[in-house]
Structure 1
Amino acid sequence: MRQIFFDTETTGLEADKGDRIIEIGCVEMINRQLTGNNLHLYINPERASHEDALKVHGLTEAFLSDKPKFAEIVDQLLAFLAGAELVIHNAPFDIGFVNAELKRLNRGVLTDHVASVRDTLLMARDLFPGKANSLDALCRRLEVDNTKRVLHGALLDAELLADVYIRLTRGQDALLMDDHGDSSGGEGQHAVEAVDLSRFALPVVRASDAEAAAHAKLLVDLDKAAGGSCKWRVFQPAEPVA
């Protein structure tokens, strides 16, 4: 599966009132492996950023004045995104801005060009209801290093989002078995003589306090990744074993 982690920076918050895209960051992942084939674009918005937006991204009108306009990069952008699943944090915001730019050029809407869109903000709200789920909050909760994020930047934010996404979804992959784990019968199997284990006094090795605490933490992480109680809970005894 080809996924593109996608982020934009803009002159303000209202695409329908003339705010424009000034930066686009795209990070490619194929089959859950980052490829390094990324796309990073600065864009001349032909207008100044709002003061509050400038404090967030730091991209001045002077810096952007010699950058290409959206019409000059649209073909490059759409070719890079073609057929991929886009992964976006708060997708309606970024898609709304891209659609406004495409509308000016009579190029349809973004979903005409990509396979699908996945919103990690909605995923996070399902996994962590009632908690802060901004990108910064998720980086802290999932132990993703975001110390370089002094200002918002589209490429850096897309890279952080890729790391957050892997950690949000890691529970499913961690429990998958490969083809070599297939225990079904077939040609080439050898009969194994049964052994009477009652003849042996088997030692019982109990977990230390530190090991028990590490196990409990792992179960909490699996609960978060699975969006509910993980199956390992079924094997826990209701009362401690003496």
Structure 2
Amino acid sequence: MIRLPQLNDEKLFPDPSRALVEPNGLLAFGGKLSIARLTEAYSKGIFPWFSPGEPILWWSPNPRGILPLEHFYCSSKLAKLVRQGRFKVTLNHAYDDVIDACASISRNGSGTWITAEMIQAYKDLHLAGHAHSIEVWQNDALVGGLYGVVSGKLFCGESMFHRLTDCSKLAMYYLVDLLKAEEAPFIDCQMLNPHLQSLGCIETPRRDFLDKLAMLQSQSFSIDCWKARILSQSS
């Protein structure tokens, strides 16, 4: 029998070192997806992940999937797409549309983990300035994008989508460019999968990830600089 701490409005998260080995990283359940709870979670290397009908489950896996910015793999095909300038790229122009598009995609035939409750919570995070999106456009049509949460000087990637080939990778290219300009060390990818691995994602011990995360909490990004840079790069 799995015994997990149950959260309520007052109870703090357990130390991530107490997370289960199997399933990897399961730490606690319950609580609410409030702005305060989510920002606390991300500052401690914890994130929610659950399916419809399940209680809110909180995770901190070991090892952790990260994308060191210098490891980002930009294929010759993607580099050509960037040079062609056929697509317009924006920041926070259509956040709600991006998360809705990500939620509409069935992952490995098993539906989506981005539940209606998650969608609303992350839209609230965006309105509070903690979550951001990058959009890729062909004329007026949204054809790709990604969204994630900022915690200190760390971008925690949540999901991406494409409606045209490589347009999610194009969004990632511009995200990496923005983060490099501010000397961020890596993107939090949570858990490694083949697609993320193809982009340069690697695994690192949870303890190392948490130590680096703690150091990044006293720093911050300049979102206004992001907007100016992405406009100049993609126009």
Q: Whose Rg is larger? A: 1
Which structure has the higher relative contact order (CA within 8 Å, separation 6+)?
A: 2
Structure with higher helix content: 1
Structure with higher strand content: 2
Q: TM-score, normalised by structure 1?
A: 0.22
Q: TM-score, normalised by structure 2?
A: 0.22
